[in-house]
């Protein structure tokens, strides 16, 4: 069993839809990251969370430490949001664990 | 543009060979982490260097080794290449501390194919 599980694995949405990607983890963590990976490999760090909620433009990330769960929301999705979204955690044991990613396709 | 560069962009090796991948971090970033990402999988943590010392390692064999230099560059060396080493290798730098506790800036990756 992976330490970090994401759902769904694949997601197709119409432009303008509200999107939620979920991440559950089984280890104690110091921090959780949401990463965006475009075709070709480039990875961009979207958010770093240790509690609560963060917002950047149309992106919102939340984390519930007690439930070991985080969500990434995209409001008013756009085709340029199409990418793989990866959840990653730094455990309290100083190990890094990554989810396998959620592949998002937004159709015009 | 993260300011983190990697070279080469891609390369092909044969089984048993050795390879060196390079990463140039943002100036002032004392921490560099290396990740292996197989096709269709999430990244796997290889190791992390902080001020030229290894300070964290994932579940990779000793034939994966690294170096970090004072000029904010680093290397990942893989000896005795195996077919399963074919992957995208990513480096990421951060200002200080333990990597994911700071914002990480990823390079574009080096795609290694082992035949």
Residues of A with CB under 8 A from a CB of B: 4, 30-31, 33, 35, 40-45, 48, 86, 88-90, 94-101
**What pLDDT is attached to residue A108?**
94
Cβ distance A40 to B92 less than 8 Å, yes or no, reads: no
pLDDT exceeds cutoff 90 at B41: no
Residue-by-residue pLDDT tens, chain A, 108 positions: 689 999 999 999 999 999 999 999 999 998 899 999 887 667 888 988 888 999 999 999 999 999 999 999 999 999 999 999 999 998 887 678 899 999 999 999
Rounding to the nearest 10 degrees, give the CA dihedral for residues B40, B43, B44, B50: 160
Q: Is A40 helix (H, G, I), strand (E, B) or coil?
A: coil
**What pLDDT is attached to residue B101?**
57
The tokens of A33 are what?
Answer: 């990251």
Measured CA to CA, the distance from residue A99 to residue A63 in angstroms comes to 15
**What pLDDT is attached to residue B1?**
59
**What pLDDT is attached to residue A64?**
95
**What pLDDT is attached to residue B13?**
94
pLDDT digit string, tens, across residues B59-99 = 899 999 999 998 889 999 999 999 999 999 999 988 765 55
**What pLDDT is attached to residue B28?**
83
**What pLDDT is attached to residue B94?**
85
**What pLDDT is attached to residue B105?**
86
Q: What is the Cβ-side half-sphere exposure of residue A57, based on CA atoms within 13 angstroms?
A: 8
Measured CA to CA, the distance from residue B8 to residue A98 in angstroms comes to 25
Instruction: Please give the mean pLDDT across all residues of chain B.
Output: 89
pLDDT exceeds cutoff 60 at B100: no
Measured CA to CA, the distance from residue A71 to residue B26 in angstroms comes to 30
**What pLDDT is attached to residue B98?**
55
Cβ distance A48 to B100 less than 8 Å, yes or no, reads: yes
Backbone CA torsion sign across B45, A31, A73, A22: positive
Name the minimum distance, in Å, from the CA of B98 to any CA of chain A.
8
If phi > 0 it is left, if psi is from -120 to 50 it is alpha, else beta; for residue A43 that is beta
pLDDT exceeds cutoff 80 at B103: no
């Amino acid at each position: 069993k992976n330490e970090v599980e994401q759902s769904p694995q694949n997601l197709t949405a119409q432009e303008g839809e509200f999107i939620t990607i979920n991440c559950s983890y089984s280890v104690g963590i110091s921090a959780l990251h949401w990463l965006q990976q475009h075709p070709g490999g480039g990875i961009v760090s979207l958010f770093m969370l240790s509690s609560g909620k963060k917002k950047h433009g149309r992106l919102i990330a939340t984390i519930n430490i007690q439930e070991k769960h985080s969500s990434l929301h995209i409001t008013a999705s756009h085709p340029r949001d199409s990418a793989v979204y990866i959840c990653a955690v730094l455990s309290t044991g100083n190990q890094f664990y990554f989810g396998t990613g959620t592949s998002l396709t937004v159709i015009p | 543009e993260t300011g983190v560069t990697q070279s080469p962009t891609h390369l092909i090796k044969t089984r048993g060979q050795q390879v060196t991948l390079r990463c140039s971090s943002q100036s002032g970033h004392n921490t560099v982490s290396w990740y292996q990402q197989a096709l269709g999988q999430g990244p796997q943590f290889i190791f992390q260097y902080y001020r030229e010392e290894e300070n964290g390692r994932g579940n990779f064999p000793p034939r994966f080794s690294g170096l970090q230099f004072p000029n904010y560059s680093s290397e990942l060396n893989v000896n005795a290449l195996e077919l399963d080493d074919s992957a995208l290798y990513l480096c990421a730098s951060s200002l200080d501390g333990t990597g994911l506790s700071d914002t990480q800036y990823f390079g574009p990756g080096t795609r290694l194919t082992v035949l």
